[in-house]
Amino acid sequence: MAAYKGHRMNPDKFEKGQIKLYLFVIPLALITGLPIVYIIFHAFKPMEELFAFPPKFITTHPTLDNFRQLFKASRAAGIPLSKYLFNSVLITVSVVFSSMILSSAAAYAMSKLKFKGRDFIFNINQLALMFVPVAVMIPRYLVVEFLGLTDTYWSQILPLIPLPVSVFLLKQFVDTVPDSLIEAAYMDGATELHVYFKIIIPMIKPALATAAILVFQQVWSNLEASNYYISDEGLKSLVFYMNTLASANGNSVAGQGVQAAASLLMFLPNLILFCFLQNKVMNTMAHSGIK
């Protein structure tokens, strides 16, 4: 239906009938965005505003002292901050790249290829969605220990590559790729790899971007690997170091500022990545219900 009660469904200009929509959407947007605004302002609050009562949402006298205290504390440590940053970047990039390749390949196989046990494997993936990370913490540690991967980068990479939600999301998107397009490629002499790289990957880019954000968030903020698999300080991640640093200073007055600065630094990569990929994410959400 193109119109309703004399109003267009998608008018080019503002109409009075849109006011009720704005009254509903704007409060939801504010509620969603307020935590982000608070994290940013909280990191720049001077000491008197950090402990002000009632608490201030927006700082009136922003300062960089919290960041100075954070980097001062990091310089006093035996291992430089750059080493932890390198570890986190290496682990995150490796996991995101590997997970996207494996998840998309699995989604393509379970969606378009015919083989025995396909539905059973997909059901196992669906079942894995029910388990929270703490439920598989002990079995995962036993596997890592059995393979002799403790105190290596592999112990922080391999356990994080499988992500059932990304396989599920990508499979739903691959389902929308017409079978006739793939059959035409086969008739032209294309192999499975050509179909995968030349047809499937380009057509599911929005879903890949969304899955990449989910994987990035999981890996960038992961403390489990550094806590349980790594005893060598030189191999631990940035989030582990920031958490340790903030906890060590958390009982002091200055430590509250260090915690605020560390929280912002760990949050910014997630925000930046989402800003760059937001169009792809919106396309995924728009097409996720279309068959």
**pTM beyond 0.85:** no
Residue 41 maps to a domain: yes
pLDDT over 50 at 1, yes or no: no
CB 101 within 8 Å of CB 166: no
Asked if 85 and 22 sit in the same domain, the reply is no
Q: Which of 168, 167, 181, 192 is nearest to 113 (CA)?
A: 192
Domain match, 53 and 172 both = no
State residue 108's pLDDT score: 92
Q: Is residue 6 one of the residues assigned to a domain? A: no
Other beta carbons within 10 Å of 157: 20
Q: Which amino acid is at 98?
A: S
Mean pLDDT of the chain: 82
Cβ–Cβ under 8 Å, residues 16 and 6: no
Return the pLDDT at 291.
43
pLDDT at 290 > cutoff 80 = no
Domain identity same for 106 and 170: yes
pLDDT at 103 over 90: yes
Give the whole-angstrom CA distance, residue 208 versus residue 281.
9
DSSP 101-151: HHHHHHHHHHHH---TTHHHHHHHHHHHTT--GGGGHHHHHHHHHHTT-TT
Paired tokens of 47: 């000491």
Q: pLDDT value at position 87? A: 92
**10 within domain boundaries:** no
Q: Are residues 23 and 157 in the same domain?
A: no
The CA-atom distances, in angstroms, between 235 and each of 26, 148, 209, 255, 265 are 45, 16, 28, 25, 20
Say if residue 87 is exposed, middle or buried (CB neighbours under 10 Å; 0-12, 13-18, 19+): buried
Note the residue count of the chain. 291
Residues 54 and 164 in one domain: no
Provide mean pLDDT across the span 215-222. Answer: 89
Domain that holds residue 57: 16-63
Distance separating alpha carbons of residues 144 and 150, to the nearest angstrom: 6
Give a yes or no: residue 1 inside a domain.
no
Is residue 287 very low, low, confident or very high in pLDDT (cuts 50, 70, 90)?
low
Mind listing the pLDDT tens digit for each residue in 162-175? 888 899 889 988 98
Q: What pLDDT band is residue 280 in, cutting at 50, 70 and 90?
A: low
Q: Same domain, yes or no, for 169 and 283?
A: yes
4 lies in some domain: no
Averaged pLDDT, 97-117: 91
Tokens of 28: 């939801």
User: What is the distance between the alpha carbons of residues 102 and 108, in angstroms, rounded to a whole number?
Assistant: 10
| Residue, of 132 and 180, whose pLDDT is higher | 180
| Cβ atoms 161, 216 nearer than 8 A | no
Inside any domain, residue 179: yes
Task: Write out the two tokens for 69.
Answer: 């205290």
* Residue 5 predicted with pLDDT over 60: no
The number of C-alpha atoms within 13 Å of 90 and in the hemisphere containing its C-beta is 14
Please tell me what DSSP assigns to residue 188: T
67 close to 134: Cβ distance less than 8 angstroms:
no
**Does one domain contain both 78 and 50?**
no
What's the N-to-C CA distance of the chain in angstroms?
20
Question: CA 133 → CA 84, 97, 182, 225, 238, distances in Å?
Answer: 24, 21, 37, 12, 20
Q: Which residues pair with 3 in a beta bridge?
A: 8
* Residue scoring higher pLDDT (244 or 195): 195
Average pLDDT, integer, range 265-285: 75
The pLDDT, as a whole number, for residue 10 is 58
Rounded Cα gap, residues 199 and 175, in angstroms: 13
pLDDT at 178 over 50: yes
Same domain assignment for residues 57 and 96? no
**Same domain flag for 239 and 157:** yes
Q: State the CATH number of the domain containing residue 198.
A: 1.10.3720.10
Q: How confident is the model at residue 289 (pLDDT cuts 50, 70, 90)?
A: very low
Cα separation, 115 vs 180, whole angstroms: 19
Same-domain pairing of 137 and 275: yes
